[in-house]
Amino acid sequence: MNKNKSLIKILSTILLCCISINVLAGSKIAILEFELKDLTLKPRIPAEIKRTASIKPLLEAELKTANYELININSKDQKTANGGVGYLFDHHDIAAKLGKHVGVDYVLVGRLHKPSFLFSYLMGHLIRVNDAKLIGNYNSEAKGPNIKLTVKTVQSLAVKIDKTLDNNYTPPPPKNKSYE
């Protein structure tokens, strides 16, 4: 009888550990490569292409701090599924299929929309994969192309995504500026 009680205690402990691990693990998210929609008189300059390419890794780094599990979707698969500029942004069912293929809960389709040299918008559509529903439509404004402003805008986007999902993200505090 004591052996059975010990076995039950061990199995209960293992079960609780497994449940705890699942509770601590965040949602699985795939972030697609951000596209640049540049409406300025000098579209797609190298600096804007570089800035656009930096958004996905910056956002992944921010969301990892909140225990989200980031899963990569092959860029070749994304290009194959993309019917043109804005296609995946507007076709949540196709983006959800990409997510289903890699086993994620959510897919974020993003865009850097630049209507002016003075400002741009970091836009994101968060799609729940199991039903291909848009559950988050986000816009964060960036004034100027400065990398520090881009980082702050990405942090703003991470806050919005996290509020829709697990509410675990805390953006880093602002850095103190020394005026000596």
Domain ranges of the chain: 23-164
Helix count and strand count (H, E) for the chain: 6, 6
d(CA 146, CA 131): 38
- Mean predicted lDDT score pLDDT of the chain: 88
Instruction: Report the relative pairing of strands 28-31 and 69-70 from DSSP bridges.
Output: parallel
Burial class of 17 by CB neighbour count within 10 A (0 to 12, 13 to 18, 19+) = exposed
pLDDT in tens, 17-51: 554 444 446 899 999 999 999 999 999 999 999 99
114: three-class secondary structure by DSSP: strand
d(CA 172, CA 174): 6
Of 35, 26, 22, 29, which Cα lies nearest the Cα of 129? Answer: 29
117: three-class secondary structure by DSSP: coil
pLDDT in tens, 129-142: 999 999 999 999 99
Count of CB atoms within 10 A of residue 132's CB? Answer: 17
Instruction: Tell me the CATH number for domain 23-164.
Output: 3.40.50.10610
Instruction: Report the relative pairing of strands 133-143 and 69-70 from DSSP bridges.
Output: unpaired
31: three-class secondary structure by DSSP: strand
Q: Do 140 and 122 form a contact (C-beta atoms < 8 A)?
A: yes
What predicted TM-score, i.e. pTM, was given to this entire model?
0.83
